[in-house]
Chain A
Amino acid sequence: MCTYSTEHAAVSGSGKGRHGWFALDEATVYFDHPVHALAEHTLNIDLTNSAAAPGERIALELTAASARELVAAIERALGSVPAGLLAG
């Protein structure tokens, strides 16, 4: 199935793509067919700069279980530092 579901998140930071580092301002998140991963459906994340060319994209295709592992790891990483470091 094609889910057509698409979530957006504004992000602030940088990513490293095919031409080096670039600023990121948007994340598109959806569960649908992957281009490369060997699974029928994956949790896909496109990290992009809305002002940059389409090729400036960090693309992830993760199985649902591994996507949840990633979310948990991010939460653990953020949760392990003093709150004062998390501003910005």
Chain B
Amino acid sequence: MIDALCAASIRITGADSQEIEAYFAHPDADVEPGPRGGIVMIHHMPGFDAWTKEVARRFATHGYNVVVPNLYWREAPGAEPDDAAAVARAGGGVPDARLIGDVGGAIDYLRALPSSNGKVGVIGHCSGGRQSVLAACNLPLDAAVDCYGAFVVGTPPAGSPMKVGGIEDQLGNLGCPLLGLFGEDDQYPSPDQVAELDRLLTGHGKEHEFHSYPGAGHAFFATDRTAYRVEAALDGYAKIDAFFAQHLAN
């Protein structure tokens, strides 16, 4: 574990060459010069919040450069995370093309760092889990982690104004290994949807590793919510750490 960290808000170039805010957490280059892998962390639907930044710093202590793009920056620059999330939700969420552009900008930023080893993974929770898979189907990545992302397969409730839908037709383009972590009590994604995703990826011959935890539902990693399940979260982090160590190592 690395204790000497740096973390700050920065600007990166996202979709349509627009500048957006991002959170950058990384080992202090004066103490730990690298080279090392990078991680793009996609925040959950509640936004670019304190918990997301805590998790980013956790991965930095494990020796990665971590960038979290603020996906709601355009709708609500400078707003508090919950206010920004409310605006984004009222507007239907983040369009997929914009997500791909913003994550692509974060990947470019990480690979251009002097401390980069050239490898970059992506991880997302909740809506970010789906977006992690979406990114891995459209961008050059070395590893992807989907934590309980809904609607990778399946469709949102009828009449939902959210700009999301299943991405079954893109799974054949998955360009890197995928780790999926799910709760058996979750309904979005449901165990049946997780099984369907597993089946589709197997059919495409895509390397993937899924784990579903009994007694856990959605958001079991979220330490600031009642959904937190310590056993699932600890085992999940162990699997994420091993996965990134395997695929993002020098």
User: Which A positions have Cβ atoms within 8 angstroms of B?
Assistant: 1-6, 8, 26, 28, 30, 32-33, 35, 38-40, 46, 48, 53-55, 57, 59
Contact = CB atoms under 8 A, between A and B. Distances in A.
B192 interface: no
Contacts, number: 77
Interface string B142-158: 00000000110000110
Interface centre among A2, A33, A39 (most CB of B within 10 A): A2
B82 A33 contact: no
The interface residues of chain B, by DSSP majority, are classed as loop
25 contacts: A1-B188, A1-B217, A2-B45, A4-B157, A4-B162, A5-B156, A5-B157, A6-B161, A6-B162, A8-B161, A33-B218, A33-B225, A35-B82, A38-B226, A40-B217, A40-B227, A46-B89, A48-B86, A53-B79, A54-B83, A54-B87, A55-B80, A57-B86, A59-B82, A59-B86
Residue among B76, B85, B89 with the most chain A CB within 10 A?
A: B89
B248 to A, nearest CB: 28
| Interface range on chain B (Cβ under 8 Å from partner) | 20 to 34
B75 A54 contact: yes
Contacts of A35: 46, 82, 85
B84 interface: yes
Contacts of A30: 89
A2 B150 contact: yes
B99 to A, nearest CB: 15
Contacts of A39: 226
A6 B188 contact: no
Chain A interface helix/strand/loop/mixed = loop
A18 to B, nearest CB: 10
A33 B83 contact: no
Given A6-B89, A26-B90, A40-B227, A54 B76 contact: yes
B164 interface: yes
A48 B90 contact: yes
Given A1-B218, A33-B219, A39-B226, A6 B90 contact: yes
A17 B11 CA distance: 30
A1 B89 contact: no
